[in-house]
Amino acid sequence: MAINCTETPFTCYSQIHIVGIELQGIPWFVGMSLLAFALQIAANFIWLQVSQVSRVLLQYKKTDVRRGKLICKSVGWTALGTTIGILRVIFIIGNNLWLYIVILAGDIVGTAAASYVQSQDEDNTLDVIIKHLEDPRCTDKKKKIIQLLMTHEKRKKLIL
């Protein structure tokens, strides 16, 4: 049973409207639905990359030369993510229930897949120090670090 797309365009699955262009036929609808699904999954992976690069970038001082490469990487991922975002909005403007459902499914699948694939964060300096302090073989290091901290606290009190 075919749906009359003139009377109920919101639930129609045999045509699709994209930026004012009407594409007729179920193959077009399925193809555009698959494209919307893939774009949504890609958006989740890109968002994760932008987050990772930002986290690493913010560990360096403003004057550190290593920031330049990371800034370029962040801008590139952001540009790609924005482009995909614009394409996703174009699909949403088509105002079709089935596309909304496909985009939601793509978001769920993309979030799960990106989370499973993403590797663990590397230890930061504080994590390394804490790990060394917890190591029983480092008692001499512990004493030195505690002495440094105590000396620092004494200096701080003298200044105040």
Per the domain annotation, does 130 fall within a domain? yes
DSSP 65: T
Statement to judge: residues 15 and 51 lie in one domain:
yes
Statement to judge: residues 116 and 135 lie in one domain:
no
Statement to judge: residues 88 and 19 lie in one domain:
yes
**Phi, then psi, of 3 in degrees rounded to 5:** -85, 140
Residue among 70, 68, 65 nearest 50 (CA): 70
Statement to judge: residues 21 and 77 lie in one domain:
yes
Statement to judge: residues 128 and 83 lie in one domain:
no
Per the domain annotation, does 3 fall within a domain? no
Burial class of residue 80 (count of CB atoms within 10 Å of its CB; 0-12, 13-18, 19+)? middle
User: Contact 54/34 with Cβ under 8 angstroms?
Assistant: no
Statement to judge: residues 88 and 145 lie in one domain:
no
Token pair for 34: 């698959």
pLDDT in tens, 3-50: 677 777 788 888 888 888 888 888 988 999 999 999 999 999 999 999
Per the domain annotation, does 100 fall within a domain? yes
Statement to judge: residues 18 and 78 lie in one domain:
yes
Statement to judge: residues 113 and 130 lie in one domain:
no
- Label residues 45-66 b or e (16+ Cβ within 10 Å = b): bbbbbbebbeebbeeeeeeeee
- Work out whether the CA dihedral 136, 141, 145, 148 comes out positive or negative: positive
Per-residue pLDDT of the chain (160 residues; tens, 9 = 90+): 556 777 777 888 888 888 888 888 889 889 999 999 999 999 999 999 998 888 888 888 888 888 899 999 999 999 999 999 999 888 888 888 888 999 999 999 998 998 888 777 665 566 666 666 666 766 676 677 776 666 656 655 555 5
User: Contact 37/102 with Cβ under 8 angstroms?
Assistant: yes
Statement to judge: residues 67 and 132 lie in one domain:
no
Statement to judge: residues 29 and 78 lie in one domain:
yes
| Full domain range(s) for residue 31 | 9-120
- Work out whether the CA dihedral 11, 14, 18, 21 comes out positive or negative: negative
- Give the number of domains in the chain: 2
